[in-house]
């Protein structure tokens, strides 16, 4: 993304780590949980690729076409799966937001607006201010709602009401709050990336 190199490094590392954790979650759970984890892993790795600092690697100009195609297909898959309850609407919104950012930062969009694109570390190409604003509001509300779900239950809740009583699988299988923390992390990262448009 555009901006100071340190923020790009941190954002890239955070998104890559989140994507890796989501990839681990694809090994266990129901088909719906595995599908959700796959979508979140793709999002994490895609965001990490978008955030690669120019000092590390100058991305080729065609990379934005790849991002737009991959996340366009992911958005289409999420929309189709919405009808049978296989995906949460948030996956479709996230994939469409990634397509929007890829198109907004593509070299052609950069030249049309007088800016640069992510790979060269120039000024942001920009997007449609109204759409960027809508996505910023969506992600701000999503992050606040997700953060609220991570708040521990009140003391009066019976023991074991919100957590599994046995641990039969790996740590990532028994800790649903870690999956929620990953979604929260990606929501914050998406908000930060949208701010740079």
**Sign of the CA dihedral running 63, 103, 144, 25:** negative
Q: Is 124 helix (H, G, I), strand (E, B) or coil?
A: coil
With a cut of 70, which residues of the chain have pLDDT below it?
1-4, 85-87, 108-126, 153, 155-174
> What was the pLDDT predicted at 85?
67
> What was the pLDDT predicted at 6?
82
> What was the pLDDT predicted at 83?
79
pTM above 0.75, yes or no: yes
> What was the pLDDT predicted at 149?
81
H-assigned helices in the chain: 5-25, 31-50, 63-82, 89-105, 107-113, 129-149, 171-174, 176-195
């Amino acid at each position: 993304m555009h901006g100071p190199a340190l923020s790009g490094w941190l954002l890239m590392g955070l998104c890559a780590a989140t994507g890796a954790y989501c990839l681990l979650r694809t090994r266990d759970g129901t088909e719906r949980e595995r599908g959700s984890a796959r979508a979140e892993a793709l999002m994490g790795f895609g965001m990490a690729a978008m955030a690669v600092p120019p000092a590390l690697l100058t991305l080729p100009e065609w990379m934005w076409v790849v991002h737009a195609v991959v996340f366009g297909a992911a958005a289409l898959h999420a929309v189709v799966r919405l009808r049978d309850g296989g995906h949460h609407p948030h996956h479709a919104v996230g994939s469409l937001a990634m397509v929007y950012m890829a198109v907004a930062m593509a070299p052609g969009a950069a030249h049309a607006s007088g800016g640069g694109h992510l790979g060269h570390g120039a000024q942001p190409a920009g997007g449609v201010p109204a759409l960027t604003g809508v996505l910023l509001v969506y992600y701000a509300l999503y992050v606040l709602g997700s953060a609220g779900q991570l708040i521990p239950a009140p003391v009066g809740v019976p023991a074991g009401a919100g957590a599994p009583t046995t641990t039969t699988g790996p740590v990532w299988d028994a800790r649903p709050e870690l999956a929620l923390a990953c979604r929260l992390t990606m929501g914050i990262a998406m908000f930060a990336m949208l701010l740079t448009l």
